[in-house]
Amino acid sequence: MCCALALCGIGLLISLVGLQCTSCIQNNDRAKRLVLIIAGSMIIMACICVIVPVSWTGHVIITDFYNPLLIDAQRRELGEALYIGWVASAFLFIGGCIFVCCNMQSEDKGSERYVYSRTSDYMAYPPQRLQPQPLVLIPQPQPRSQPMLSRHPSTNYSYHSSYPSVHSGVAYL
């Protein structure tokens, strides 16, 4: 497991050098792809270093569980650490495959992904000064009159409307 941690850490550090957003290797896409392929293969090796001991421990636990010579106190069950190890190795495998497969490119193909067409009709215009524009007043809507609420203890907390209130409905019951 320590080897897996070291391989994965070194692979991630190497992958930082080869990413497209970094400028550690400039003007050499082939070298960046090669660095990312090496980082991906190191991450896949870290996956192997994780899955071997985790699966081996799982196999020992399962064979000991069905061994009739062991008493119940000596039998163990598969725990969360094994499941976490299997999931971690799956993520390492997927990440390593992404690094390797996305950067595999044949030599005759070239880097056509990053070539832009020079026959387009795009023309760059010189920047123009901004001219001040006159201010325009936008009419604001007139606020509607709000209903007046009364807080006098002898009246209900409502405003006068054409709809019957809840209190008038209670009187009919």
Q: 44-101: per-residue pLDDT in tens?
A: 999 999 999 999 999 988 888 877 777 777 777 888 999 999 999 999 999 999 999 9
- The string of pLDDT tens digits covering residues 92-108 is 999 999 999 988 875 55
DSSP 158: -
Answering whether pTM is above 0.75, one says: no
CA angle in degrees (0–180, nearest 5) for 39-45-48 = 150
pLDDT of residue 115: 53
| d(C-alpha 92, C-alpha 44), whole Å | 6
* Residue 62: other Cβ atoms inside 10 A: 13
Residue 125 pLDDT more than 60?
yes
Q: Which pLDDT band holds residue 152 (cuts at 50, 70, 90)?
A: low
* pLDDT classification of 109: cutoffs 50, 70, 90: low
More confident residue, 45 or 130: 45
The residue type found at 91 is: F
Which residues does 121 contact at the CB level (< 8 Å), separation at least 6?
Answer: none
Among 1, 85, 3, 8, which residue's Cα sits nearest to residue 41? 8
Query: What's the mean pLDDT in 134-156?
Result: 64
Show the tokens assigned to 98.
């992404």
pLDDT of residue 53: 94
The yes/no answer on whether domain 2-107 falls in CATH 1.20.140.150 is yes
Residue 1 has a CB neighbour count (10 Å cut-off) of 13
Cβ distance 156 to 167 under 8 Å?
yes
Q: Show me where the domains of the chain are located.
A: 2-107
